[in-house]
Amino acid sequence: MTTPRRPAPLNATVAAQMGRMPRARTRPEMLIRRELHRRGLRFRVNHRQLPGRPDLAFTRIRLAVFVDGCFWHMCPEHCVMPKNNGEWWRAKLEGNARRDRDKDALLTELGWRAVHVWEHEDPVEAADLIERMWRQLRGRPAAPTSGR
């Protein structure tokens, strides 16, 4: 199913605000990146050769990390469907979710693991999850969690 042609916005201010939303280097992504870097983990950012251009790519262990926005990726806790142009937005957001599943399948075919964290997740907890996966894939025992 393809997304229908984009309808004319009903509110120019909202349309301009949506257009200014960043696609990369979002606040949640940067907080997670800083926490992982502080822990000594090194990664590539927006790896262009991989499906979906993962936000973080640990190339040696083939781990792709995506920091998903609650609205754009239909977080079950926080996504609220817009009332204006609702049919178009539903098709658009469902298409995003379908594309997420497709890129994860492509990554799996290439021997990669994909992990998704939501923008609303605590950055330290998200980094804990990513570090645990990193250690598991590197064959290292998990480090004790910080006592903060």
Reported as a single tens digit per residue, the pLDDT across 95-143 is: 999 999 999 999 999 999 999 999 999 999 999 999 999 999 998 666 5
18, pLDDT greater than 80? no
pTM score, two decimals? 0.80
Higher pLDDT, 54 or 147: 54
* In-domain check, residue 144: no
Q: How many CB atoms are located within 10 Å of the residue 69 CB?
A: 20
Count of structural domains, the chain: 1
* In-domain check, residue 124: yes
* In-domain check, residue 148: no
* In-domain check, residue 147: no
Residue 111: left (phi > 0), alpha (psi -120 to 50), or beta? Answer: left
Query: Distance between alpha carbon 126 and the CA centroid of its chain, in Å?
Result: 11
Judge whether 67 and 32 are in contact, CB under 8 Å.
yes
Q: How many CB atoms are located within 10 Å of the residue 14 CB?
A: 12
In sequence order, what are the beta bridge partners of 113?
A: 63
23, pLDDT greater than 80? no
Rounded to whole angstroms, the Cα distance separating 86 from 74 reads 14
* In-domain check, residue 86: yes
The CATH number that applies at residue 107 is 3.40.960.10
Q: How many CB atoms are located within 10 Å of the residue 105 CB?
A: 12
